[in-house]
A = this chain, B = another copy of it.
Amino acid sequence: MEELLNKIDWAEILKDIGIISIKLILILIAFLIVRAIGGRIINSAFDKAQQRNHMTPGRTQTLRSLTKSIFSYVLIFILVVVVMGTFNINVAGLLAGAGIVGLAIGFGAQGLVSDVVTGFFILLEKQLDVGDYVTTAGFDGIVEETGLRTTHIRGFNGTLHYVPNREIISISNHTRGNMRALVDIGISYDDNIDNAVTVIQNVCDRIAATNENIVDGPNVLGVQALGASDVVLRVIAKTKNDTQWGVERELRKAIKEAFDEHGIEIPYPHQVNVEKKAAN
């Protein structure tokens, strides 16, 4: 036995231990340096972003902690793999094996990652805020909550839509500036166009004077179409946000009443009937 022990090359073992120790120390130092530098870069980046984009501190804080924890998890993962590799444990095989399971789960969880990435940018670029009226992913409504995974949109009939962020491709935000009110009015082919335009424009001017929600117009654009039974005139206005429907309703009522007053007809569908006797 002793003889056997003597044959062991203690020098090489010592050398191995020394090399591994040095490696471990170097790895730890590198790890700490990278973590410190990474943390500072993230902090300063978010400080700058906050100043530039006037983000609320709450929102900045959410994004910052998400970024930091992703950064930490990645670093720790790398540390573990490198340390295991140092002890010659077959990390590659282990990881390849885990890859099979991982890939299957990855495909399933892919949507989750996609949700978070999209959610991150929606928050960062402030494409929607709580309270905005938006159209996205086929849903219309008021945003009630914006999270990293889902956005809650309250539809107009009271339904609450839970939309995963990956479904939010394009966002149509209806709460980002003045809106347009548009009213199309059909008049009879027998009516005088200039006369009708004058009547409508008078109505428009009166409303523009009294309704403070109107920013620009309303104005008659002209003959939008020669329809099957009517000559269509288009009226257009620019209004304050969220008041466009009210302005449109007011315009419709006022124009209808002015037409009644001036004897201008909003025609029903017309049809020319050619009478013929039945042959048999």
A→B interface (CB under 8 Å)? 4-5, 7-11, 14-15, 23, 27, 74, 77-78, 81-82, 85-87, 89-114, 116-118, 121, 125, 127, 135, 137-139, 149-150, 154-164, 167, 169-174, 176-180, 182, 185-186, 189-190, 193, 221-226, 228-229, 231, 238, 241, 244-246, 249-250, 252-253, 256-257, 263, 265-280
Contacts and interface: CB of A to CB of B under 8 A. Distances in A.
Contacts of A160: 172-174, 176-177
A11 B11 contact: no
Q: How many copies does the complex hold?
A: 7
A116 B111 CA distance: 12
Given A82-B94, A104-B102, A268-B229, A222 B249 contact: yes
A272 B230 CA distance: 12
B121 A113 contact: no
The 6 closest A-B pairs by CB, nearest first: A108-B113, A222-B249, A158-B179, A92-B93, A85-B90, A160-B176
Contacts of A155: 172
Contacts of A138: 170
Nearest to A241: B158
A265 B103 CA distance: 67
Contacts of A229: 268-269, 272
A109 B178 CA distance: 34
Given A109-B117, A226-B256, A268-B272, 12 more contacts: A8-B15, A81-B98, A125-B150, A139-B170, A158-B179, A159-B174, A263-B280, A270-B274, A271-B272, A272-B273, A274-B279, A275-B277
A18 B165 CA distance: 54
Contacts of A276: 270, 272-275, 278
Contacts of A118: 111
